[in-house]
Amino acid sequence: MGTELIWTTGMHNQGTSMKNNNDLLCPVCGFQLGFKAWDGDIDSQEICPSCGTQFGYNDAVRHQGDKDKTAKKYQEIREHWIKGGMKWWSTDAVHHAQPVGWDPVEQLKSISQI
C-alpha cells in the first residue's frame, strides 16, 4: 500500500521538506504549518488552523526580543488550548480541514524538540 499524503494549511512551500522541519512547526501546538510563523523578527500574520494562534498578534510579545517572555506566552497559549480540549480550531473544511487521523497529543510531542 502507498503512503497517503494529506495536504494541510500552508503547504505552498513545495520545495521545502515538511518532515521534521522545526521552522515550520507551530510553536504553540506543534502543528506542521508549511510556513514559518516567524522569519527572524518578521511575523507571518498567519493563523495556525490547529490551535488558532495568529503569529504577530497572539504572540506580539516576541517583537520585544525577550526569549523568556516569548516562551512564557507560548506556554500560556498552549495551556489555554489544552484546557479547552485541544480542539481543531479552523472551521474552513476546504482549505484548512482537520487532517485525517489528526492526534493533538502526538502533535504536541513534536515541539519538545524546539
Q: What confidence tens digit (pLDDT) does each residue in 37-92 have?
A: 999 889 999 999 999 999 999 999 888 888 899 999 999 999 999 999 999 999 88
Q: Is 24 within 8 Å of 47 (Cβ atoms)?
A: no
Backbone angles phi and psi of 71, in degrees to 5: -60, -40
**Residues forming a β-bridge with 39:** 42
Alpha carbon distance 30, 110 (integer Å): 6
Q: What pTM was computed for the model?
A: 0.76
Cα–Cα distance for residue pair 32/19, rounded to 1 Å: 8
